[in-house]
Structure 1
Amino acid sequence: MTALQPPPGFIDTPHPPVAEPGRLVSRVEEIAINRPLAEVIAQTETVALADWIDRSGALPYLTGTHMLAGDRFDAPASRHMVFLTDGTTVVEQVLETSRAGAGYRFRYVVWNYVTAAARPLLYGLGDFEYADAGEGRTYVRWTYSFELRRYRFPGFLGPLEGWLLKATFLNGPYAARMRGSLARTKAIAEGRAA
């Protein structure tokens, strides 16, 4: 992955306050991986982010990153800027990494969207939960949620805002991106990716 520099005039700001899940518009995708939890976690920690994100479809994907806080994007408070194929950027920060019993969790927040299509979005919240499914298998659940700007369409439409975001984006191109990325993660973890 190429290391790039923030655009001129960029000001690194703290992430927006993260709302309770019930206030966000969310989508969940799940997959079973035919490898033990420890192997899957090891793969996700060593394979570059660009390698497991799906590159098909109309949505831009990442071309490189620049660390803003921390040495790597892996511990709480580590933050990086992500450069996308459409020439825009976003900022991501790790909120939580935790290992408890037979599980692993990785939560992160995304904000500072530059692309015009994301103007209604205040931030995105990603939440990966990995669980030992027994018999050498791992179950992965990825929840992705968005908080809309309340003063910008469709954010000022009340209950209709979530329906519109789901109908036009979360259940369409973003769902395809999530499913494709989980399939790539599965292929990498199972040793089937090139």
Structure 2
Amino acid sequence: MSATATAHRLPPGFIETPHPPVAGPEKLVSHVETVLIDRPFAQVVAAVDALPLARRHPPAAGLPGVADTLALTPDGFGPVGGRHLVFLTDDTTVVEQVLENTRADTSWRFRYVVWGYTTPAAKPLRYGVGDFHYVAEGDKTRLTWTYSFGLKPDVFPGVLGVGLGGFLLKLAFLNGPYAAWMRAGLAAIKAGAEA
């Protein structure tokens, strides 16, 4: 774990800002991964609640994982509007805020927006939207994770628009390293829930 993450302090120069307005799906570039967890829904939810974020999102495919978090709102990251600063394993940070956290007897949807990337690799990204959807399937649980990005319109590939710019982002990043990173996260959640 990095020295930055273990300090649990705001980085020098950190300024908290509101999240960017989230566009509709047609204006975002998305990738979807899914996994079937061999445990009942209630057991999966309990396991995920107990699994630290750093265990759910390890480094993979050359991309950093989560090292630690620091709550930015009094009630933490769970409730809608909850926000935290995420320290990544490459000593960069992002801010995340909960957009939706809806649980029922057989499904759970957890959506959040990510922005304020400090890594140079995220230069073309204005924000991301993560969407975890857990659904009971008999004595198993299907987890679908959709990750969508809003591109900066003045930085390549966003200058080419959502169509062509989004296609290039998918080709070079979303369907390659990012997809592998997402699969590693789903595998970690599956392993934690099935342990």
Structures share a fold, TM > 0.5? yes
Equivalent of 2:125, from 102, 105, 121?
121
Shift of 1:11: 1.1
Indicate how the Cα distance of structure 1 residues 157 and 128 shifts in structure 2: closer, same or farther if over 3 A, else same: same
User: Which SS does the other structure have where 1:29 is aligned?
Assistant: strand
- Give, in whole Å, the separation in 1 of the partners of 2:48 and 2:74: 18
Map 1:110-149 → 2, pairs under 5 A: 110-134=114-138, 136-149=139-152
Q: Does 1:7 align with 2:11?
A: yes
Please list every run of 5 or more consecutive structure 1 residues that lacks an aligned counterpart in the other structure: none
Shift of 1:56: 2.9
- Give, in whole Å, the separation in 1 of the partners of 2:24 and 2:178: 21
Name the aligned partner's letter for residue 189 of structure 2.
Answer: T
Name the aligned partner's letter for residue 165 of structure 2.
Answer: E
TM-score (norm 1): 0.94
User: Which SS does the other structure have where 1:69 is aligned?
Assistant: coil
Shift of 1:83: 1.0
- Give, in whole Å, the separation in 2 of the partners of 1:66 and 1:3: 10
User: Which SS does the other structure have where 1:139 is aligned?
Assistant: strand
TM-score (norm 2): 0.93
- Give, in whole Å, the separation in 1 of the partners of 2:24 and 2:174: 19
- Give, in whole Å, the separation in 2 of the partners of 1:83 and 1:54: 12
Equivalent of 1:94, from 75, 94, 98?
98
- Give, in whole Å, the separation in 1 of the partners of 2:7 and 2:100: 24
String of CA shifts for 1:80-130, please: whole Å, max 9, x gaps.
111112221100111110013421100000000111110110000000111
What is the percentage of aligned positions where both structures have the same residue?
55
String of CA shifts for 1:10-58, please: whole Å, max 9, x gaps.
1111111111011100000001111111111111111100011132321
Name the aligned partner's letter for residue 47 of structure 2.
Answer: Q
Larger helix share, 1 or 2: 2
- Which residue is equivalent to 1:151? 154
String of CA shifts for 1:110-158, please: whole Å, max 9, x gaps.
0001111101100000001110111x10011100000000111110102
Please list every run of 5 or more consecutive structure 2 residues that lacks an aligned counterpart in the other structure: none
Map 1:6-155 → 2, pairs under 5 A: 6-134=10-138, 136-155=139-158
Q: Does 1:175 align with 2:179?
A: yes
Structure 1 outlier segments of 4+, above 4 Å: none
Kept in 2: contact 1:70–1:77 (CA 8 A): no
- Give, in whole Å, the separation in 2 of the partners of 1:184 and 1:87: 21
User: Which SS does the other structure have where 1:156 is aligned?
Assistant: helix
Kept in 1: contact 2:58–2:66 (CA 8 A): no
